[in-house]
Amino acid sequence: MKALTFRIELARLAFAKVFGMISPRAYVSGFGAVQCEKVDEPKPHGDDWVMVKPTLAGICGSDVMQVFLEAAADNPLSAVVSAPHVMGHEVVGVVVDVGSAVKKVARDDRVAISPWLPCAVRGLAACEACERGDYALCSNFFDGKIERGMHLGNCRDVGGGFAEAMSLHESMLFPIPEGVSFDDAVLADPFAVALHAVLRAPPVKSETVVVWGCGSLGLMTVQLLSVLFPGVTILAVDHKRRLQPLLEKLGATKLFTTRGRELIAEMGDYMKAPIRKPFFGLPWLQTGVDKIYDTVGAPSTLEVGVRICKPRASIVMVGVARPRRFEWTPLYFKEISLLGSNAYGMETLEGRRAHGIEIYLDLLDKRRLALDGIVTHRFPLEKFPEAFMAVYDKRRSGAVKVLFQP
């Protein structure tokens, strides 16, 4: 079958890094780490495994970081990855074959896929985190009957959705209700990530929150805040002015397109918060917003973030940018809580406890979400250089969510 594979081979990585300095296209060239190639059909790892034919698979920001080799050399997650692997972890598809012990789905079912590979998938008894439903915090990503890897798209033994076929444990599958399209369902993973992040520090009525970064994760955050937390003022921050109409539709109160000093000044005006201007360094606000959902997680967003929130505010760090120094004094002085948020698992919303993906599909089924305009591009697998370049250079391509149609 055809699949996009990622190989950790010194020669390929070196080639991509060197020529990538000249043009980013080198990363997606024939000599880069990612290739479209023929590989063996995946095999089930037990009689509770299911064969799925992917119909749509979204490109995640973390895929782009991987393809363009943007991770820092000291990133500890390199320990939880096995290669080569088939990429792609935001996937919907159709069940084509089921093992003898499978109960949850049947042949021809349309399914959304949770890409995580915790205890249940590995044939292990549930660890403490899995027992609580915190699958992304599982302590066994190194163990069990499949190779190390935290989710599809970074595990050698369980290939991702940028492929013509996948073999998955039944616990990873969530049937898509009849009235819900593949086009909407394929956003299940970023929605669940956004929901989990918001639930780390849910806004209280009439609070003012910032959603930082308006990629698919940020847009999902805006939409779910406006639908599930009415009365909250939602300030979106992204330098892409063209997102204004889409953000308005999704429920953002206002879009800020500046950064750094200008952004702090604009936020100060908007929040009517006195601004303090040091001789060196960035100004800061004495009070400010109640919560920040930072889907970028970069030093620059954190440095400004701790300056525009009020004392005792929470900043949820859901983005995964490369670490650098930032001036963090207000974190202690304003007693800010910086809360990490990783993916999703079992979530409690409106009194119901269910998997994040189930919650999403249910909200879609009840027509509570309106997500038109988030998916902007679709490509076949062979066109992967164009697809990754579209995400890499969003300014030129106008991309928000880019999909593969395997």
Partner 1 sequence: MRGVRFDMSYPRLAAARVAGFFSTNGFVASFGPIGLREMPDPKLIADDWVSVTPTVTGVCGSDVKQIFLDADVDNPLRTLISFPHVLGHEVAARVVEVGPRVRRVKVGDRVAVSPWLPCEVRGLPPCERCKSGDLSLCDNFTRGSFAPGIHAGNCRDVPGGYSDRMIAHESMCFPIPDGVTDEEAALSDPFSVALHAIRKAPPKPGETALVYGCGPLGLLTIHALARLYPDVRIIAVDLHGYLEPFAREMGAHDYVIGAGAELIEKIAGLVSARVESVAMALPWVTGGVDRIYDTVGIAETLETAVRLIKPLGTVLLVGVGTPRRYEWTPIFFREISVIGSNAYGIEDFDTGRMHGFTHYLELCASKRLDPTKMVTHRFPLEAYREAFVTARDKLRHASVKVVFTQSSK
**Could you say whether residue 276 binds partner 1 (CB under 8 A)?**
yes
Q: Which is nearer to partner 1, 35 or 295 (CB)?
A: 295
Min dist. Cβ of residue 165 to partner 1 (A): 29
Residue 281: both structure tokens together = 């360094």
Give the tokens for residue 27: 């990363």
125 sits near partner 1 (criterion: CB under 8 A): no
With CB under 8 A as the contact rule, the residue among 278, 350, 367, 396 that binds partner 1 is 278
Name residue 376's amino acid: T
* Distance in angstroms between the alpha carbons of the first and the last residue of the chain: 10
282 is an interface residue for partner 1 by CB under 8 A: yes
Do the Cβ atoms of 4 and 164 come closer than 8 Å?
A: no
Stretch that binds partner 1, among 31-39, 174-182, 251-259, 322-330 (CB under 8 A): 322-330
Q: Which of 89, 307, 377, 401 binds partner 1 (CB under 8 A)?
A: 307
Helix, strand, coil share (%) of the chain residues, nearest 5: 35, 25, 45
Q: Is residue 61 near partner 1 by the rule CB under 8 A?
A: no
Considering beta carbons, is residue 48 or 134 the nearer one to partner 1? Answer: 134
- In the chain, the amino acid numbered 118 is P
Number of shown-chain residues binding partner 1 (CB under 8 A) = 56
CB of 95 or CB of 302, closer to partner 1: 302
Of the residues 317, 357, 363, 381, which one makes contact with partner 1 according to CB under 8 A: 317
Q: Tell me, letter by letter, the H, E, C secondary structure of 66-78.
A: HHCCCCCCCCHHH
How far is C-alpha 127 from the geometric centre of its chain's CA atoms? 24
Q: Please report whether residue 304 would count as binding partner 1 according to CB under 8 A.
A: no
Pairing outcome for strands 289-294 and 208-212? parallel
- Interaction between residue 142 and partner 1 (CB under 8 A): yes
Q: Does 245 bind partner 1 (CB under 8 A)?
A: no
- Position of tokens 């080799």? 69
The interface with partner 1 within residues 328-367 (CB under 8 A) comprises 328-342
Nearer Cβ to partner 1 (39/137):
137
3-state secondary structure of 383: helix
Q: How far apart are CA 105 and CA 62, in angstroms?
A: 29
155 touches 8 (CB < 8 A): no
Provide the binding-site residues for partner 1, judged by CB under 8 A.
72-80, 129, 134, 136-137, 139, 142, 200, 276-284, 286-287, 297, 299, 307, 311-312, 317-320, 323-342
